[in-house]
Amino acid sequence: MEISNEKLIQMFRYMYLTRRFDEVATQLNKEKRIIGSVHTGVGEEGASVGITMALSEGDYISPSYRDVGAILAGGLSTLEVMAMLYAKDCGHTQGRTRLMHLGDLPKRILPPNPILGASQAIAIGVAYANQRKKNGSVVVNIMGDGASNEGAVHESMNFAAVYNLPIVFCLVNNHYAWSTPTRDILKLDIVADRAKAYGFPGYVCNGNDVLETYETVYNAVERARSGQGPSLVEVRAYRWSGHSGNDKNVYRTQDEIIRWQQDDCVTKFEGYLTAVGVLSKEEVKSIKDAVEEEIADAIRVSEASPYPDPEKLLDPYCMLYKEDQE
């Protein structure tokens, strides 16, 4: 598949930005500068960015609650997301929500939902509306292997099949549902085989290979756009850290974690881009330096900004529903 150098560089930038954003957010949380908990996807950058960048203008991304890569690649700025974690007025939702509810309808980012299985029902509703409008838009929904066992997920997939909806379900199989190994909750070795029961195709790709992920999801999206209906893409990946900032990650061995880290999607993609001449080592450093500065600026502005006015917190106005004025 032909992908422009510009898009390849964008992929790398978003992957590195996602990695560093999650790492920094985790550290800020440990230092109590960000309150509450954070749910990061360190190690899954190739999955979230590869999936999101396979969409075309006008398509919808429906991320999971740990998919900051999908939210950043979907068009929100680093400052908007960082200030949201700080619950500051300059954040995307002006202090009203955390990452679990962060969306932007004008940018076609559907808000994640911490209730497992709930976002799939929302996603098929949007896909059904797109189908009725005949606007050519496709919805891509991201879920984890744990969420895939929820009853609402099966109902949503069956509904999508019956109505031949323009939607792609991306199941990021990171091998753990919180602390439970996937092998203990799923009988199938290939989770994508579940698609057969609904009457649509299932595909498997390596989430540590952003290009393979991009191509697999792109083909599924274009299949849906052409009127051939839904599909299920199992994206095999691995999150290096615990389920959340409070998870001590004691249920895995260090050998297992190190084995997956040796197949790091960000490092592999950087090596590929330099090997084929898309980026020089100097250009890679320039991108990384710019990302570090971008995150540092976002922290500085967030910490210097005020909290929202308590009198306005219950105001129905929310950036999620605001029409894009730009």
Which pLDDT belongs to residue 316? 62
DSSP 271-298: HHHHHTTSS-HHHHHHHHHHHHHHHHHH
Q: What is the pLDDT of residues 225-268, one digit of tens each?
A: 999 999 999 999 999 988 887 788 889 899 999 999 999 999 99
5-270+280-311: what fold? Rossmann fold (3.40.50)
Domain residue ranges of the chain, discontinuous segments joined by +: 5-270+280-311
Q: What is the pLDDT of residues 286-308, one digit of tens each?
A: 999 999 999 999 999 999 999 98
How far apart CA 132 and CA 280 sit, in angstroms, is 47
Other beta carbons within 10 angstroms of residue 94's beta carbon come to: 21
Query: Looking at this protein, which amino acid is placed at residue 311?
Result: E
Which pLDDT belongs to residue 222? 98
How far apart CA 114 and CA 105 sit, in angstroms, is 18
Q: What is the pLDDT of residues 70-124, one digit of tens each?
A: 999 999 999 999 999 999 988 888 887 777 778 888 999 998 888 888 999 999 9
> Judging by beta carbons within 10 Å of its beta carbon (0-12, 13-18, 19+), is residue 268 exposed, middle or buried?
middle
pLDDT level of residue 180 (50, 70, 90 thresholds) = confident
Which pLDDT belongs to residue 250? 87
